[in-house]
């Protein structure tokens, strides 16, 4: 198991100013995620899933409390934190390889080593034959694979993913879910994954954190591993999976 990527969230409150008042989105939330774990955040619209993810990434300053990764408090964005969004953020004027090596070269890595890293992660996401393609020449699913490779090339301790497959069709989504599971097992990076899809959360996660709009905090943490290996097709068709889906949907209704 990886020894970097431990996340400790202590009594976290998040919100924003609205006139003379402060609107609280997350209130007094505490959560510990072990290095190398895969956790999905689910909850009803407006419960603060993406806000919490952005706070972990250093893009959102807490009103109260702290987020600590490997003993260091998160105060701003860092190369140790990779982020993949639903919207594509690739540089359209750069090839796949140039996009992936951009981060390592910006950190001061030489061209030879940056190229080696780019090739390694492009191969990991299954796009070795497309390294000289430009983003506009790729399908939406392939662009998501490049986004993941680009984030991983920075060797982050934590990979944050905000509904990255939400706009894809069911077949492409299923393919990328399986690819992500394979990538996670190969890299042992800590993943925090926001989704509105209960099936997706059950299939790819070790743990599911259900957020409540009512309490503005965690309503339940489900340890999928304690039930069964949810990455298998047989489990996803089982009564255990059906019961778990129904339970999650009930919890989402607040």
pLDDT band at 2 (very low <50, low <70, confident <90, very high): low
* pLDDT number for residue 206: 94
Task: Report pLDDT for 24.
Answer: 92
d(CA 253, CA 114): 47
Angle at 211 between CA 175 and CA 50, to 5 degrees: 60
CA distance 137 to 225: 39
Write the pLDDT tens digit of every residue in 174-185. Answer: 888 988 999 999
DSSP 8-state symbol, 84: E
> In terms of residues, how long is the chain?
254
**How do the domains of the chain map onto residue ranges?**
7-80+156-252
Least confident range from 40-44, 115-119, 164-168, 207-211: namely 164-168
User: pLDDT value at position 222?
Assistant: 94
| 7-80+156-252 under CATH 1.10.3470.10, yes or no | no
* Three-state secondary structure call for residue 39: strand
What is the rounded CA–CA span in Å between residue 79 and residue 19? 34
Residues β-bridged to residue 240: none
Dist. CA 145–CA 99, nearest whole Å:
12
30-73 confidence digits (pLDDT tens): 999 999 999 999 999 889 999 999 999 999 999 999 999 999 99
Take residue 109 and report the two structure tokens written for it: 């890595």
Number of H helices, E strands in the chain: 8, 10
Q: Dihedral angle at the C-alpha atoms of 124, 142, 231, 199, nearest 10 degrees?
A: 160
């Amino acid at each position: 198991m990886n020894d970097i990527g431990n996340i400790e969230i202590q009594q976290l409150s998040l919100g924003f100013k609205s006139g003379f008042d402060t609107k609280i989105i997350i209130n007094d939330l505490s959560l510990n995620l072990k290095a190398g774990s895969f956790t999905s955040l689910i909850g009803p619209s407006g419960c603060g899933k993406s806000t919490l993810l952005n706070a972990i990434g250093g893009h959102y300053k807490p009103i109260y409390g702290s987020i600590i990764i490997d003993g260091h408090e998160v105060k701003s964005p860092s190369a140790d934190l990779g982020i993949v969004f639903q919207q594509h953020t690739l540089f359209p004027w750069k090839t796949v390889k140039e996009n992936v090596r951009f981060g390592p070269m910006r950190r001061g890595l030489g061209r030879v080593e940056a190229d080696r890293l780019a090739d390694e992660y492009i191969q990991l996401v299954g796009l070795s034959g497309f390294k000289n393609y430009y983003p506009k020449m790729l399908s939406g699913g392939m662009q998501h694979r490049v986004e993941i490779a680009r984030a991983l090339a920075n060797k982050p301790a934590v990979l944050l993913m905000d509904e990255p497959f939400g706009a894809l069709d069911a077949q492409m989504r299923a393919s990328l879910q399986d690819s992500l599971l394979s990538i996670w097992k190969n890299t042992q990076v800590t993943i925090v994954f926001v989704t509105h899809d209960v099936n997706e959360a059950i299939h790819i996660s070790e743990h599911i954190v259900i957020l409540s709009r009512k309490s503005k905090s965690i309503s339940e943490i489900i340890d999928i591993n304690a039930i069964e290996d949810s990455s298998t097709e047989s489990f996803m068709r089982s009564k255990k999976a059906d019961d778990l889906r129904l339970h999650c949907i009930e919890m989402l209704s607040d």
